[in-house]
Amino acid sequence: MEAPASPVLSMEVEAAQTVPEAQAPLKPLPEDELWYARIEDTSQPGAASDQQTVTRAKELLAKQEVSNQRLQETVDVEFLEELGLVADATRFKKLHIQTNTKMLYAQQKYNLLREESEGFGKAINALFQFGKAGLTLAAIPFLLRELRALIGYFDLDPIRLADIALEAFAADPKNIAFLELMQLFPRAALPHILGFKFKIAAEDQSAAFPGYASSLSLVAAQLIKARYIQLDALLPHLQPADATLQMSIAEGQRSFEVAADGILKSSLGGGKPEAPQEAKGLLALAVTAARLELAALPMEDAAFSAVGQGNHKLALTEGLLRVGAWPEASRMLVWLGGLGAPAAAHAGVRSALCQLLAQRLEPFHAWLHHNGLGGGPHQVDGTAPDISDETMDILHALGFRVASDPLLFQKVVKMVSFAVGRHVQPSGPSDSTSRITQLQNLLLDVVLPGLQLVPASVPVTAAVWQLLRQLPYRQRFCIYARWQGVQTEQVLLYAAASLAQREVKRVMRRISNDDPNRDTPEQRLENKRLAGIAAKATHANPLSALDPGIAQAIGYGNSYHKQVVDTLRYVTPMGHDVFTYLIVDNLASPHRKKLSKDGLNVSSWLQNLASFAGMACMRYPSINVHAILEYSVCRLRDFQVSELVVVKEIITSLSGIAMVHSLNPDQLESTAGGDTLRAESVAETGKTALRSSEQRRNAICLLNALQQGPKEDHLLVPLLVLLAQQRQHIATQTPNTDQLKLLLELFDQCSETLSQYIKFLQKYLPRDKYEQLLPSLDTLVTGFGLDVEVAWQVYRHLTIHLEPDTSASPEDGEVEEQEADASRDATGVVAPSTPPIIGGPTHIEDAGRDRKPLTEQERRMWQNWQANSGSEGGPTPMDVDESVDTVTWSSLVEASRRYLSDSTKSLIRPDFYLAFWSLRYYDIHVPEDRYKATMAAIRSKIVENSRTLRGGLGPREHDALEEQQVRLQGTLEKLSSEQAVQRQHVERVMARMHSLTEEWNSGATRVKGCNVVFIQDCVLPRCLYSPEDAAFAGTYLSLLTRLAVDWACGLCLNTVFTEVLSILACTSEREAENLAITLRILLNDVTRWQEDPEAFGKECANSKGWSLDAAAARNVCLLQVRTAVCQVAAADSTDDGALPLLWGLQPDAQRPTSHQQHPPGLSTIQNRN
């Protein structure tokens, strides 16, 4: 039950309710009513109304009808404690007494004289408040009011008070609340006050706290940014003077240049004392990564450290940058640059620029990589934040020294990479061209030079490469060329490049001290370590670091190429790209002559560089082979024949096709066999072959390089045509005939390289692709002016599956040929049931549904061939896609008719002409002796290895020998299968040629005319082209004699020896060797007929062509007399082709090995035995 309300309070309420509003007295405040009710309650202790009053008061407090302050002023302390407004009434009373005593009874002292010292003391006490109790923006109004009161009460000098305020600001320069106080003081006086403070800081550094000058510069920068003072008003007060500063900068620059120039002049041992002689072992000479000195920024900081001491202008510039006052800071940077001071070379200014740039780039970087640098690029789904021109100005002002902050440098690289990727796309903005130019300038001014200042950092190098690889290699190479110029202009970059070059030279010196012929596990481990050290120096400075290696490769030659190439194993892809540029740059150098001093040979440096480039391209697929080849193609287009050596080395290294000239008779005969026999023959010459996987990888790399870029930049056909045109240009259009020896050597190299390149294309390029790329046969001959032998080597690959069309009625023994013609489809390709004769068999997959199925024996034969034969010696280099086949026998006949002269077409049949040019040495001759000898040698090796396996061998040697046994056994099986396939193939070719003999005889109207045309248009061009073609030409002439072709008789042989020997004076060395091969084969036949009359009677007696009159017979009998006369003349001749011909005719003769024993111009010739 609630206690009754206080009677007094009730009466008051009732009276207020009954009195009319107009007559009501002044209404008391609720606090007074509560006070009065509290008094009544205390007069009656223990009454229930006491608790009711407390409850009523709490309700009024909750409704905010009474205020706390008014209650505290009105009611007693105990009531306040009950209401919860006072925690402890006793403690509150004590505090009240203490406060009352202090206010009313304590004696106060007054400064009746109003002394300034007390006023300044109060101002200092108000201003110098730091930490949590420091000055805040919220306290500024109160502090301004107090400072105004102090100024007025104590008559303080505002200038002196401003000095105190600036001193307090300098003690806490990051507190921007002090800027609000500056409105209290006259602005015109602030520059003078600051200038006086700067002067005091310069004269007496102990008069203030450490870092006082920097804090003062930051205060000045804050005031300049807030427009309280002007920069021009403050500059005259700053130290040092401009003239003094300029002298100090020039002195620092000179000291830095001297230090940079002395890097490469200093001892390669790093200036350390030389070790004792007995300690100079492998470990003493070792170069370690811990000793690498690649950082150039510390050198610059040390050189310009004196410039920054007491330099208020640099300190102010740093302060302006710290507070973000870029307009004023840029003015200072330009002004300092005019004095010759790279402002960013000062560590403080550089750090401030990096800080400001990081703030400006943060929005863009947050958009691009919302998960940080490691979170991957942002999926661009909106507009990128704009990068203002001011931000770009900051970046250019900082320049390549942005690399002093590697994280910021990474952000800049990613920003430029994003911009480059956006503008290089075909669908890029309309202003992409101009933007690409700006970005390239940014690359040259910031990114690439900055990379030099971040040594041995693979991630940074990888980021820069991701940026550069978006540009075409031509633009990259132009940038590299300009980068070389920038390195020489900037002392800091020159120092960084020199440091890297010095470390690489230390490695190169260590490599040059090693024996190149020593290949031990310890040496390989040491080379790996040295390669890692060289790579560390190369990451940031690829241009300068790779140059010593290339120079050493050029100077030392082939003996050190492998060691130098090994040092590139740990180089980044960007390093390999720069390496490619350096190769091209050295090739294009106008300061080096590409011919020797006597003009008779290609310079040794060019030969060494070409060999080195070929070895490096073979070893590292990331090297841009396309760039080197395109440069060479451009040089060949200008008929600069000296560049042939570069093309030759690259094709030789990457194609995996070994071109061996000066073959002995056994090796020459092996060229008629399949791939396996040829490979074994090449192995006998001492040339080491790569593994098939490595060889195919290199070949694919070369193919990709030749087809790199847009279609108009492909080099497959242009390189083929240019190589072929070089032969004619060397022979017919070279104006300087004084260098005849050089021209002959270049002619031989060009022919060899061309043949090698054609074989490479035929081996690794798909047949349909190969056919689509080639122009027509008559276009190659008449349009591009290629020699016939070259054009047919190109097209012979496409005639493998073709067979001559026959329209004559079948005679005895030709029924099978008629059936074969009936099975030929519309394209002229014979069905597999009758394998094609001219050029070799087709694949089993080529059989159409309308063709006769293969027999089981034929199927097994083709399966063995597909499994064991390769693409050079076998009948077909790869699968033939007949769906795109456009080359037919009839089309080739028509093409040959278009470029053959009328006299040639009237004397020999076009199908005979095509039969000669489309056949290969493989098609007409089976090297039985070479197959037997090679298989016998392999069996002997297998037996020898079996005996060795029984002895005590280690596990490693035992496993290696077993692998060799397996390989030899596989080679033996391949040779056996290869021999069987070739036998059957040659038998079919012979049968076909027997069937065509009658047609060829009927077409020969004039025997002597046919001989001359045949030798001129067929035999001579082909026998001079290559050793294999020369052997084919001689064997083909012998074959025509055995086939009883009317005009292939004694008169034909007489014509060969009469006409061909007359051109000996105008042949090169290798052409003479090739000619000797053909003549040797023919002389062997003549000698055999002379020694064995039965053989002559069997092969020639029944031939109509050997029915000669007395005069003709006398001329034929003079063959050996003519040859003997030729040999005698050759002994006295100075022609380069004379002695090779003589040695070719008698291959068993001992050849001289000294250049003094044969005419000048002949290379060293070894015994063919």
Q: What is the pLDDT of residues 39-76, one digit of tens each?
A: 877 776 665 667 788 888 888 888 888 888 888 888 88
Whether residue 197 has pLDDT greater than 70:
yes
1127 and 1102 housed in the same domain: yes
Give the lowest-confidence range in 171-185, 618-632, 1068-1082. Answer: 1068-1082
Domain end marker among 47, 81, 104: 104
Question: Under 8 Å CB-to-CB from 498, ≥6 apart: which residues?
Answer: 260, 263, 264, 544
The last residue of one of the domains, among 489, 507, 540, is: 489
Amino acid at site 994? H
Q: Is the pLDDT of residue 125 over 70?
A: yes
pLDDT, residue 531, reads 85
In 3D space, the residue among 416, 417, 436, 441 whose CA is nearest the CA of residue 426 turns out to be: 436
Q: Which pLDDT does position 450 carry in this prediction?
A: 93
Express each pLDDT in 518-573 by its tens digit. 667 777 788 888 888 888 889 999 999 999 889 888 888 777 788 888 888 899 99
3-class secondary structure, 303: helix
Rounded to whole angstroms, the Cα distance separating 1047 from 668 reads 28
pLDDT of residue 327: 92
Burial class of residue 119 (count of CB atoms within 10 Å of its CB; 0-12, 13-18, 19+) = buried
Report pLDDT for 22.
43
pLDDT-based confidence at 162, cuts 50/70/90? very high
pLDDT at 366 over 70: yes
Mean local confidence (pLDDT), 1109-1124 = 54
Residue 283 has what pLDDT? 33
Q: Scanning the structure block, which residue is given the tokens 């000062």?
A: 346
Alpha helices, H only, 105-189: 116-127, 140-154, 158-171, 178-181
For 1026-1077, what is each residue's pLDDT tens digit? Answer: 889 999 988 888 888 777 776 666 667 777 777 666 677 778 888 888 888 8
Query: Quick one: average pLDDT of 939-964?
Result: 83
Q: Which pLDDT does position 637 carry in this prediction?
A: 87
Mean pLDDT is lowest, of 733-737, 780-784, 1157-1161, for 1157-1161
pLDDT of residue 877: 29
pLDDT at 456 over 70: yes
My answer on whether 905 and 1038 are in the same domain is: no
pLDDT at 636 (0 to 100)? 87
The answer as to whether 499 is a domain residue is no
Q: Report the pLDDT value the prediction gives residue 1053, as an integer from 0 to 100.
A: 74
Whether residue 708 is predicted with pLDDT greater than 50 in this model: the reply is: yes
Burial class (CB in 10 A: 0-12, 13-18, 19+), 644: buried
Number of domains forming the structure of the chain: 4
For residue 796, count CB atoms less than 10 angstroms from its CB and return exposed for 0-12, middle for 13-18, buried for 19 or more.
middle
Give the angle 354-356-357 at the CA atoms, nearest 5°.
65
Sign of the CA dihedral 410, 411, 414, 415? negative
Query: In terms of domains, do 896 and 961 share one?
Result: yes
Identify the residue whose tokens are 């024949």: 641
Distance CA 409, CA 395 (A): 10
Decide if pLDDT at 1157 tops 70.
no
582 Cβ contact partners less than 8 Å away, ≥ 6 residues apart: 543, 546, 547, 550
Which residues are paired to 595 by β-bridges? Answer: 602
Average pLDDT estimate for 499-510: 86
How far apart, in Å, do the first and last CA atoms of the chain sit? 138
For residues 636-657, average pLDDT:
86
985 burial level (CB within 10 Å; 0-12, 13-18, 19+)? buried
Enter the tokens of residue 330: 């840029």
Of the spans 390-404, 805-819, 1103-1117, which averages the highest pLDDT?
390-404
Same domain, 994 and 1118: no
Q: Indicate whether 463 pLDDT > 90.
A: yes
**Which pairs count as long-range contacts for 1149-1152, CB under 8 Å and 24+ apart, including other chains?**
none
Please report which confidence band the pLDDT of residue 100 belongs to, taking 50, 70 and 90 as the band edges: confident
Q: 590 lies in a domain?
A: no
830 plus 956 within the same structural domain? yes
Computed over every residue of the chain, the mean pLDDT equals 77
Query: Which of the listed residues 87, 104, 121 is the one where a domain comes to its end?
Result: 104
Neighbours of 983 (CB within 10 A): 13
Residues 424 and 443 in one domain: yes
In a domain, 65, yes or no: yes
Q: Could you tell me which residue, 1128 or 578, shows the higher pLDDT?
A: 578
Q: Which residues contact 1041 (CB under 8 A, 6 or more apart)?
A: 1048, 1049, 1085, 1099, 1100, 1103
How much of the chain, in percent, has pLDDT values that exceed 90? 18
Q: Please report the pLDDT score of residue 30 as a whole number.
A: 80
| Exposure class string for 468-481: b at 16+ Cβ within 10 A, else e | bebbebeebbebbe
Q: Which of 320-334, 368-382, 791-805 has the lowest mean pLDDT?
A: 368-382
User: Looking at the structure, do residues 840 and 934 belong to the same domain, yes or no?
Assistant: yes
Backbone angles phi, psi at 595, to 5 degrees: -120, 150
Rounded-to-integer distance, Cα 617 and Cα 231, Å: 60
Domain for residue 305, yes or no?
A: no
Q: Could you tell me if 479 and 380 lie in one domain?
A: yes
- Indicate whether 367 pLDDT > 80: yes
pLDDT at residue 363 tops 60? yes
Residues whose CB falls within 8 Å of the CB of residue 142, separated by 6 or more in sequence, listed in order: none
Q: What pLDDT digit, counting tens, does each position of 812-857 carry?
A: 333 333 333 433 333 333 333 333 333 333 332 333 333 334 444 4
Same structural domain for residues 952 and 1047?
no
Domain hosting 900: range is: 799-1003
Q: Which residue has the higher pLDDT, 964 or 112?
A: 964
Residue in the block written with tokens 């440091």: 499
For residues 995 and 1018, state if they share a domain: no
Highest averaged pLDDT of the listed ranges 191-205, 413-427, 793-807, 881-895: 191-205
Is pLDDT above 50 for 871? no
Query: Residue 778: is its pLDDT beyond 60?
Result: yes
Of residues 726 and 871, which shows the higher confidence score? 726
Q: Look up the pTM and report it.
A: 0.75
Are residue 1146 and residue 1013 in the same domain, yes or no? yes
Region 393-414: mean pLDDT is: 92
H or E, element range at 479:
helix 473-489
Residue 753 pLDDT > 80: yes
CA distance 821 to 804: 10
Together in a domain, 999 and 1011: no
Q: Taking 70 as the threshold, does the pLDDT of residue 113 lie above it?
A: no
Alpha carbons 1028 and 1148: distance in angstroms, whole number: 19
Cα 830 from Cα 888, distance rounded (Å)? 11
> In this predicted structure, what is the pLDDT of residue 496?
92
pLDDT value at residue 807: 46
- Token duo for residue 1149: 């003769």
Q: Does 177 reside within a domain?
A: no
Render pLDDT for 238-268 as a digit per residue (tens, 0 to 9): 888 888 888 888 898 899 889 888 888 854 4
Report the range of poorest mean pLDDT among 7-11, 198-202, 757-761.
7-11
- Find the Cα–Cα–Cα–Cα dihedral 390, 391, 396, 402, rounded to 10°: 150
Is residue 621 domain-resident?
Answer: no
Angle, helices 473-489 vs 491-512, to 10°: value is 100
**Which one, of 482, 331, 450, 480, lies nearest residue 393 by Cα?**
331
Comparing 864-873, 949-958, 1038-1047, 1118-1127, which segment has the lowest mean pLDDT?
Answer: 864-873
- 145 is a domain residue: no
Residue 403 domain flag? yes
Residue 435 pLDDT greater than 90, yes or no: no
